[in-house]
Structure 1
């Protein structure tokens, strides 16, 4: 009978398909939620009306208007904040590039479906490439920094317990040594008394 080889345990339990889809959905929602809040705050401060075209459109992201440059800076800030989302939901440095590129690819699809046209603005494309590169680099750096943190077992409590156990063992050793010395002294006194009794017996004979 031919036996089927089982895949490695990591490929089955580390990232199952449903878990991958759930993480992608959560990251995409967090990406758009953070961008919406930032763009809304920027438009309120700037005094411009807010609309979903600023989030899902590409026409407003232009280099010849002030609101266009402000939107570019907001999307870059959203990229830095999204690194924390990658650290929370992904937390594996080798998986960060896949999720970061997936976020921007889904954003391209969403923008195309919303505007019914493929983005043709060079500033929009340049911003997407810069955002994907920074998100990948910073996400991998943050996850690697988290992976390399030393694991603490017990903290200061373990050191105090170790110190108390060492002190207890030292105290037991001192007690055993003093007990051994006491027994040695008693033995020497008994031998000395036996010698005296033998000598007196010989003289009596």
Structure 2
């Protein structure tokens, strides 16, 4: 009977399925809440009535109307704001592409279910590809920036040192070089000479 294949250490505990589903749902809800707030604010300023067609529909996103261009800009702004959610909920750069593409795929499914049709507007598709690409690359950059940030130890939390601390350290180094360091090098030299005479 063949033995079970062993999984790498930590693979089960890193991202279990329920945790992945919870993160996907949180990201999707945050994505839609942010988009709804932005679109609602824009329609109030512009003076047009708000409807869910602006969020889930694809036919309003057109290049020959002001509302269509406004919607495109709002969705691109939403993609940049969603990078913050990726940074908070995912926080690992190698997982960002999966979650960013999942958000856009679920948006496509929601749009198809809401409109009962596959989007045929090329501007809508171009916006989805641009939004997914920008969210992926910006999210990966933000997560890598946070991953590579140096860790500070100690109670102060700041990496800058005062001039008095630097002067004190340089005095200790110079006194060490004049005193014990020179004595140690002389002693090692004398020990080498004794070893050579013994041979």
Deviation at 1:87, TM superposition (A): 0.2
Whole-angstrom CA distance in 2 between matches of 1:63 and 1:48: 17
Pairs aligned (count): 164
Please show how residues 58-69 of structure 1 align to structure 2 within 5 Å. Answer: 58-69=58-69
Please show how residues 145-156 of structure 1 align to structure 2 within 5 Å. Answer: 145-156=145-156
Whole-angstrom CA distance in 2 between matches of 1:157 and 1:4: 47
Deviation at 1:56, TM superposition (A): 0.3
Distance 1:79 1:155, change over 3 A: same
Residues 47-77 of structure 1: per-residue CA shift (max 9 Å, x gap): 0000000000001000010000000000000
Q: TM-score, structure 2 length as denominator?
A: 0.77
Residues 74-123 of structure 1: per-residue CA shift (max 9 Å, x gap): 00000000000000000000000000000000000000000000000000
SS of match in other structure, 1:9: coil
Distance 1:51 1:7, change over 3 A: same
Aligned position for 2:139? 139
SS of match in other structure, 1:156: coil
Q: Would you say 1:79 and 2:103 are equivalent positions?
A: no
Whose radius of gyration is greater, 1 or 2? Answer: 1
Deviation at 1:2, TM superposition (A): 5.8
Please show how residues 1-205 of structure 1 align to structure 2 within 5 Å. Answer: 3-156=3-156
Root mean square deviation of aligned Cα: 2.2
Whole-angstrom CA distance in 2 between matches of 1:6 and 1:150: 34
Whole-angstrom CA distance in 2 between matches of 1:116 and 1:128: 18
Deviation at 1:6, TM superposition (A): 2.7
- Would you identify which runs of 4 or more consecutive aligned residues in structure 1 move more than 2 Å? 1-6, 155-159
Whole-angstrom CA distance in 1 between matches of 2:20 and 2:92: 13
Whole-angstrom CA distance in 2 between matches of 1:117 and 1:99: 25
Could you tell me which runs of 5 or more consecutive residues in structure 1 were left unpaired when the two chains were aligned: 171-205
User: Counting helix residues as a fraction of each chain, which structure ranks higher?
Assistant: 1
Deviation at 1:4, TM superposition (A): 2.8
Could you tell me which runs of 5 or more consecutive residues in structure 2 were left unpaired when the two chains were aligned: 173-199
SS of match in other structure, 1:144: helix
Deviation at 1:155, TM superposition (A): 4.1
Aligned position for 2:179? none
